[in-house]
Each structure stands twice: as C-alpha cells, then as structure tokens.
Structure 1
Amino acid sequence: MAKKKTTPTSTSDLKSTSQKNGATLSDLQSNFDLWYRILVLLYDLSNIAMDRAAEARTLCTTDELYISGPYFTPEESVRIKSTVVSAPTLDEVPEFEALALDANEPAKAKEKPTCEKMTIEEAIKSCLQNFFEKRRASGDARPCGPHDMAPIYREVFGVSKDDLRDEKFLSRLRRLGLGQVGEKTVEGASSSSSRKQKKKGGKKG
C-alpha cells in the first residue's frame, strides 16, 4: 500500500509563499550584475546634478520610477518592482529631517509601521506620497526631482551613501558604465556616434 505524501514542511511553505509574493532583496543582491546596475541607478539619482553621464542615463528611462532601460531589461524591471521589502518610513531617512512637521502634529507621524511587507514599487510610491505630504506641511512647494527621490530609493533598497562611494564600484562605473545593457543605449551610443563623425571627417579629408 502506497504511503500518503506528507504535508509540506514549514520551510517549503515559506519558499512557496516567497515565490508567490515575489523575490526579496537578497535575491536581487545574489545577482551581481543586476545588483550592480541597481547601484548605478541609485548613484545616478544621487549625483544627477554633478555627473553628466548620470543625467544622460536617467533621461533615457521610460518609467516614472526610473526602473527601466537603459538600466534594466523589461523582465528585470518587472522583477525589481515586484521584489518584496519591509515597508520603509521617511523617519528613517536623515535627509527629511528638514521637513519636520509642527510640534503640535500628532505623535502618530513618528510612529514606525509594523513589519508590513510590500513590493518595491509600492514602497517607493508610498514614500513619495508621504514625502509630498511632509513637504506641503513644511510649506515647501518645490517640484520633486531625481535628487529628492534618491534618499527614498536608498532606504527602500537598503543601500547607504558609503556603498555608492565605494572605490571598486566607482572604478567599475567609470570603466564600464552600465555594462552590456547600458553601453548599447547610452555610453555605447555616444561613443559610436563620435566614431561615425570621425569617419565622415576622414572621408572629407
């Protein structure tokens, strides 16, 4: 008589649930090439005002959250957006201390959420909404730009400023840009166009 199959263990259940709910940050970090390009995106958002290459890459994006080409393929963009993270709070981001609400504001503004889980897309949009609310309360009506979004992205992805200042990372960025994905669309496009101009100039000579 055949034995009945045992019910899945708790570990199996967790894996199954994890797969249904999307990947985790650890999954993204285990893909070194993908994680590198995520770091490039965060670097670009943080340095767009000082780095022309960073500005050029962000201008080539087609997604409202910048999670698209030239940084990622369509499949990678979907994977990143659906990755599950703990719900962040702007109170954890030092850059937003300047947007502190009035002292009479209810204490709930400083309360940290429970261990709620949400996708990266949901987390970023949630933080941006809270960011606008805090800015309106502080009387700051400036439009939001990539530089304003950078602290939110660093918090959501669990990346520090020091991570983006790491010399190994910066050396690779200077040497390779985005790599295969980015070189063909941004750095590679500019270099190939300059080669064409040189060839045209050579023919004229």
Structure 2
Amino acid sequence: MATLQDIRQDDSLWWRVLVFLFDLRHFKENVDSQSRLERIVDASYLGQPYFTDDEVSMLKSTVLPAGNTLADTLRAVTHYRVCAAHDLAPVFEKAFEVKEKDLARNERFIELLNEQSLNVPPDWRSIFKPVNKCGSKPKPGKRKPR
C-alpha cells in the first residue's frame, strides 16, 4: 500500500494527479479539461488518459491521512448520487490534500498545463514553492514609526 507521501514523490504521477484535480474543477470552461475527462470510462474517474491500470490500483489502495484508503472514500461517496466530475472534485482534493484555489490561481501551473497537458514539464515543482510577497518580517520589539 502506498501513502500520500509516496504518491507526491513520484514526479510524473503527482503532476497527473494535479492535472486531474484541475480538470475536475474546470471541465465546463476548459475545452482541454473536458476532452481529457470525456475519455475516462471508469465511474470513479480514475483511469486513462491520466493513469495506467497499475497506477489506478495504487491510487485506490493509497492510505490517506485519515487512515482509510482512497477506494474506501470513493465507496462511501458513491453511495450518494454522483452526477458529474465536479461532484468528485472535493473528494479527491481532500484525499490528496490539494486546495482547489492553489491550482486555479497559479498562473504558471496553468501555463504549463496548457503547454504540456499530461506530459510532465521539467522542474515543474518549483512553481509551487512558497513565495514571500510581503517582504521581510519586522524584527521583534521594533515598531514602525508613525
């Protein structure tokens, strides 16, 4: 059984997981997302073109931080009616600990996605490095003059 950390360490697989999550949220407004999702035949939405059969098995058996597997989580959710891909988006985002806004607001991720699709871009992980946009932290005990 794999862990979420194992999945995240595989550059190719984790890139495709992120593309998959983005596509689930944006299939209505993004033609490429729609095209990729429409090729999936599995009801869980895990499959080609995103993942091989072996990867699907590994993903479904992944032990999530809550202690259950992704397959267990999907079974619990599918007891309710799943109408479309967007119904599963929050389930997968929570399971893979990815915030929807982190992908949707990352302009460089979207550029790479548009350029590379499911092909893994070189050095793509650098686009997710935290950036200090506010400047340096003030030193303790020092206040800015008014």
Name the Cα RMSD after superposition.
1.7
**Distance of 2:89 and 2:75 partners within structure 1:** 13
1:86 to partner: Cα distance: 3.2
Identical aligned residues as a percent: 33
**Distance of 1:159 and 1:124 partners within structure 2:** 17
TM-score, scaled to structure 2 = 0.74
CA contact (8 A) 1:124 1:156 kept: no
The gaps in structure 2 that reach 5 residues or longer are 121-146
- Residue 24 in 1 paired to residue 10 in 2? no
- The one of 101, 109, 114 aligned to 1:174: 114
- The one of 100, 103, 111 aligned to 1:164: 103
More helix by share: 1
Query: Corresponding residue for 2:140?
Result: none
- The one of 63, 74, 99 aligned to 1:124: 74
From the CA coordinates, give the structure whose radius of gyration is larger.
Answer: 1
The gaps in structure 1 that reach 5 residues or longer are 1-21, 88-116, 134-142, 181-205
Aligned residues: 119
**Distance of 2:107 and 2:71 partners within structure 1:** 29
Where does 1:31-180 land on structure 2 (aligned, <5 Å)?
A: 31-87=10-66, 117-129=67-79, 132=80, 144-165=83-104, 166-179=106-119
Letter in 2 for 1:176: Q
1:160 to partner: Cα distance: 0.0
1:73 to partner: Cα distance: 1.3
1:164 to partner: Cα distance: 1.4
Stretches (4+) displaced over 4 A: none
